[in-house]
Amino acid sequence: MSDLIRDEKKINIVVFTLSGQHFAVDVKCVREVLMFREISPVPKTPEFIEGVIDLRGHIIGIVDLRKYFDLNSRQINKDTRIIITRIKDALLGIIVDSVLKVVDLDEQKLENAPEVVSSQINNDVIAGVAKINEKMTIVLDLASVLSDKEIKHLLQVRRRKING
């Protein structure tokens, strides 16, 4: 929760969906939102790392949050997006079902995750939960999604792709 942007007790977040559930991330981590595009697979990576894309000459690792959270798979459709983020000084894309909106959330409305949520999703990646427009929204700490080793591996793949 300490990494979230605060403006007079407001938290600025991007809300998106996965398997009908609402999630959010700190807007300061988000660089841009892309339409889904072809992803090049990368061997010897965890299953939730889909591969890489070339974005204006930058090779960016892509994580499938459905696989990361062990949610049911879903066909890619016109609403599927890739959110490009900056995590631990690395650009990383996350695949989501749809991006809904950017919200200013009252800081007091962000609570600790109830046990039922934290038992299904790794509690380390949850910054908190809040009710937004009558929908429970899980606010993620993206810096905790990938280990330093996994980020290092993606950066090595990126260097190999750039250097040929």
Structure tokens at 84: 């490009």
- What is the maximum span of the chain, computed from C-alpha positions, in angstroms? 50
Weakest mean pLDDT among 44-53, 72-81, 151-160: 151-160
CA angle centred on 147, ends 47 and 36, rounded to 5° = 50
CATH tag, 10-163 = 2.40.50.180
Q: Check residue 47 and give its pLDDT.
A: 86
- Using the predicted structure, report yes or no on whether residue 42 has a pLDDT greater than 80: yes
User: What is the rounded (10 degree) CA torsion for 79, 23, 41, 146?
Assistant: 160
Query: What are the tens digits of pLDDT across the range 64-73?
Result: 988 888 888 8
Query: What are the tens digits of pLDDT across the range 133-155?
Result: 889 999 998 887 776 776 766 66
Provide the residue ranges of all domains of the chain, joining segments of one domain with +: 10-163
Instruction: Select from 63, 38, 118, 83 the least CA-distant residue to 127.
Output: 118
- Using the predicted structure, report yes or no on whether residue 9 has a pLDDT greater than 90: no
Instruction: Select from 93, 81, 100, 17 the least CA-distant residue to 48.
Output: 93
Q: Where are the alpha helices (DSSP H) in 16-145?
A: 65-68, 115-120
Query: What are the tens digits of pLDDT across the range 77-126?
Result: 999 999 999 987 788 999 999 999 999 988 888 887 766 554 456 567 88
The model's pTM: 0.83
Please indicate whether residue 163 or residue 32 has the higher confidence score (pLDDT): 32
